[in-house]
Copies of this chain bind each other. A is one copy, B any other.
Amino acid sequence: MATNKRGRQSFILPQPPVITHWASIAGKKESEGPLAHAFDHCCRDTFFGQKTWEQGEKRMQQMALETLMEKAKLQKEDIDLVYSGDLLNQCIGSSFTLRNTGIPHLGLYGACSTMAESLLLSALTVGGGFAQRTVAMTSSHFASSERQYRFPLGYGGQRTPTAQWTVTGSGAVLVASSGKGPRITSGTIGTVTDLGVKDANNMGAAMAPAALATIKAHFLDLKRSEADYDRIVTGDLGQVGKEALLALARQEGLNLGGKLIDCGCLVFDREKQDVHAGGSGCGCSAIVLCGELLGKLYSGAWKRILFCGTGALLSPTSTQQGLPIPGVCHGIVIEGGSD
């Protein structure tokens, strides 16, 4: 059997799947941020017309999927498979979105790395000839996350300076075996990395070592360096985590400074929007990818990026039991152009 595996953690795609379309749905605060121009829909209703925030999150994912199908002029029957997951317990945002659609679905849990994980699995599935068109999708919602992971919003708890603001948003990407658009050419699957950070209000610091581990593995496996990329994009380290990653990388002789950008730092204006360390959540890297990033790749402004979804694999239970926060990061290489 021909191997597409490279090194310990990476793989290449000899026939690179194409990202032909993408869609993003953004909440109110995100729509007031610096990337609003690139979202498909900016919504001011936190409930998205539903009775609960959890159902609102589901509606957001439905809107992302519907918008994607409209843009691609596809029907449900044309989609072979949806890979999706979210932060809600038992991923109900995703499973209720897909219910009774008739679209085959495989559910994922990668915390905030889910956009990269779903893209990575889409690339393997389409690249292996097992599907022609898959959708990679995820979402997060500030209000449903806050009450699940931290405190009910009505409690009015104060946030620490290292805390991040969960993005309300959903992104969906169509990965196809042929067509025009940016292509997925390789990927690196992350390992669960834990240096002992226990502060659930500083997830950036908990995820930074995982991001470094994946970027290092990617460079080693594919014999590349930061010079091979226009940008290295992390998912949601925020300002604290981004600085931690830069410092950790420097200790190992890697200078990511000129290339590293973070979706959590890009999605909000930290000066004006009172989000402390920046954005987070599955929806953070999803709406930044399905707008700004894929736009720049499509236009040719960027030739090649390494998109690194970062996830903090904690739960309220593990935190209450005094355990540290394991991090994970999956990397996917997307190359530009609309051909």
Identify the A interface with B (CB < 8 A). 1-5, 8-9, 11, 15, 51-52, 54-55, 77, 80-81, 85, 87-92, 95-96, 98-111, 117, 120-121, 124-125, 127-132, 148, 177-178, 189-194, 313-318, 321, 323, 326, 328, 330
Contacts and interface: CB of A to CB of B under 8 A. Distances in A.
As for how many copies of this chain the complex holds, the number is 2
Contacts of A129: 1-5, 128
B104 A107 contact: no
Contacts of A318: 54, 90, 92, 96
A189 B177 CA distance: 19
Contact of A109 (B109, B120, B189): B109
Given A98-B191, A191-B98, A321-B55, A107 B105 contact: no
A128 B128 contact: yes
Contacts of A91: 109, 313
A124 B126 CA distance: 10
A143 to B, nearest CB: 13
A121 B190 CA distance: 16
A90 B313 contact: yes
B328 A95 contact: yes
A111 B105 CA distance: 13
Q: With a 10 A CB-CB cut-off, give which of A101, A106, A108, A110 has the most chain B CB atoms.
A: A106
A273 B120 CA distance: 44
A148 B315 CA distance: 12
A189 B128 contact: no
20 contacts: A2-B129, A3-B132, A4-B130, A5-B80, A8-B77, A11-B130, A54-B321, A87-B90, A88-B317, A89-B315, A96-B323, A98-B326, A99-B192, A100-B192, A100-B193, A100-B326, A105-B192, A108-B109, A128-B129, A128-B130
